[in-house]
Structure formats: structure tokens, C-alpha cells
Amino acid sequence: MVTMPESKRTTWRFGVLLLLAMVVPLLNTASAQAANSITNRVLVSDATTAANKLITSGTGIALTGTPTIGTSSTTWTFDGVNAGAGRVIGPGVEFSNMNTGTTGNESGTPGYLLTQIKLAALGAVTDYSYLTFQVTTSSGVKSIMGDFMFGTAESCGSANYDVAGVFVDNANYATYTNGATLSATAPTGGLATIPAPTPMVETCFSSALTFVAGGSLPPGTHTITIAVANTGDTVAASYILVSNIRGSSSTSTGSFALISNSPSSIGITVPSSGVFRQAILLSATLGISGTDGKVTFYANGKKIPGCQNIQSSSLTAACSWRPAMHGVIRIFANLLPSSSSYVSSTSNVGFINISARATTR
């Protein structure tokens, strides 16, 4: 029998362990994407945690203020949902009207908003789950988008029960693609029977959809409310699952088949050194054709005055900066493409060592 030297056995063991370290995460990822499944579903009662799970950073919107969530809301965060037949979204938040006990349809409440959009055939809005939060939008953002699905354990497509919506500044933008309100009634066939994603109990789901709110949204602060309610009974639950709320340059508005945005890329070039309050040229190059848009440069995490929302041309953008600080400065840039077919991206980080001027004025 041939004996392997100890050094080679050690190398072999290391190689096996390294291979397992590479393969096991891939296996876990594959299983996480299996049809009829939801991954990392966690019950949550903290409104800020839920809101942060929904917002896609670097897209021109940012959470502001203090979010609120229904005191008895049945709400989960998740990392992904695959309901089969292309019904895939995530990560995001799932809201259920599962006997929450939250009521009240007075003006200004989520119950009031749902009452305004429910079908005439539906009973009164009773208990509901909701999340309300505010976002600020940058000047390059013309609309707010988000992905969603509606699911129900009611009789699929034939019963007059339940209602859900996503409201931006009190207007609902999450509907079926023909504009019909999200409900178990689905009078135009917006729902399809499927096996319930484990451990959920829905018997049918809508397609994966994208809402687009605004079309020409003014920069500033906007209020988003997501809500789902029982109507007429409290026997079977309905759900709305929302993910990837983001800023967009789209001028459309309404609900559409899932808009799968393609990635963009941006890289910066900066000199290694500079002088206090003397002009330095910051340059950015976009890596994907069709992604020209607004470029903003940052120094130590703060927007550089005069270097914000620079419109790129032929995949390049530049600005002149006179640093008002000394020492090593961290520089990067963010790209918000003009086309809603692409998501925003953040560049590599460059460092500039800023020294004092040789002479004073």
C-alpha cells in the first residue's frame, strides 16, 4: 500500500474543505430558488426594519422620518419568493390580513385608503395589516417603482373578498395589469391557482407585477402605505408581498408585468494627490451602453457641491472640484441611468491625498 505523505494529505484535506465551502452555498442558493418556496421568512413588528427591507439603496430614494406599522399587523420579511411560473420576487416584506384586529376607516387611516379602492361588491373593510413610511427622492427620480404579488387563501377568482394596495401620496398604484383592484374576486382572471409556497397558505397568486408611481414625481418627500384587509369575513387570509421599492426615471404610471431591470456600472478616475482649494478633475466612465444618466460624485460619503446630477454623455461624465479639506479623501460616484431598464450603480473608490498650499494668500 502506498502511503500519502502528511504534507500532501493536509493539502488534499484543505482542497476538499475549500471545495465544500464553494459548493454548499451554491446548493443552498439553488434550493432557495426552488418553485413554491419562500426563503428566510421572519415575523417582524419593527416598522423601520420592514421599511429598510423594502427600499433598494442607491436608486435615488432614501428612508426618512419614523415609519409606522399596525400594532397587530401580521408581517414578515423574506429574502425571496418563488410561486412558480415566473412568479419570483424578493427580498421584501409580506403583509397578511390574518385576523390582525387592526380596524378604523376614518380619513387618513389605511382602512380609509382601502375603502376608497375596494370593489362595490365587497363588504366593509375590517381588520388589516399596514406599513406607512416616507422617502425622499433625488432630482433625477421621476417615479417610484416596486415589485409585488397578491395572494389569497379565499376561493380563487370567484369570491367577493379582501382588498390590497400600495399607495404613494394616498393614490393606489398596485393593481392587476388592467387596472382592477387587487382582491380575491379578480374579475378579469388576474389570479391563478398554484401550490402554496411553503410555509404559506395561499391557494392562488397573481403574476409578479411592478407598480410605477408618479410618472413626473417632484423631488422631495413622499409617503408610501402598503395595506391588505379583510372585507366581509375574517375566515381566510389574503396577502400582498412587496419588494425592491426604488427610484426610477420612468415616466409611465400604473401596474405592469414585472419589470426586470438590468445592471449598470460606473468607474472613476482620480489623481493620487491634489492641493487644498485648487481644481481637481474627477472623471467617471460608464461600462454599459445605453446607461447614460445622472452622475453624482461623493467625498468622504458626502455629495460634492457642483458635482451632483452631472448628465453623462457618450458614457462619460466629469466635474471640477476644489477640495476644502486636507488629508486623504475617499472619492466615489453614483450613477442613476436615464432609462428605467437599468438600475443605478456605485463606482469603485479612489483616494486623493490633499496637501496644504505652498503659500498663503
Among residues 290, 289, 302, the alpha carbon closest in space to that of 332 is found at 302
The CA-based angle 103-106-112, given to 5 degrees, is 80
- The number of C-alpha atoms within 13 Å of 129 and in the hemisphere containing its C-beta is 25
pTM: 0.67
Classified as helix, coil or strand, 234 is coil
**Which residue ranges form the domains of the chain, and what is each CATH number?**
37-257 (no CATH), 266-355 (2.60.40.10)
The CA-based angle 136-282-304, given to 5 degrees, is 35
Span 211-253, pLDDT tens digits: 999 877 888 999 999 999 888 777 778 899 999 999 887 778 8
Span 177-213, pLDDT tens digits: 888 888 887 655 567 777 777 777 777 888 889 999 9
Interval 78-101 mean pLDDT:
82
The pLDDT of residue 188: 55
Confidence category of residue 262, pLDDT binned at 50, 70, 90 = low
Residues contacting residue 339 through CB under 8 Å, at least 6 positions apart: 249, 290, 291, 293
Confidence category of residue 361, pLDDT binned at 50, 70, 90 = low
The pLDDT of residue 159: 64
**Could you tell me whether strands 125-137 and 61-69 are parallel, antiparallel, or unpaired per DSSP bridges?**
antiparallel
Interval 243-266 mean pLDDT:
81
d(CA 302, CA 247): 20
Among residues 86, 45, 87, the alpha carbon closest in space to that of 67 is found at 45
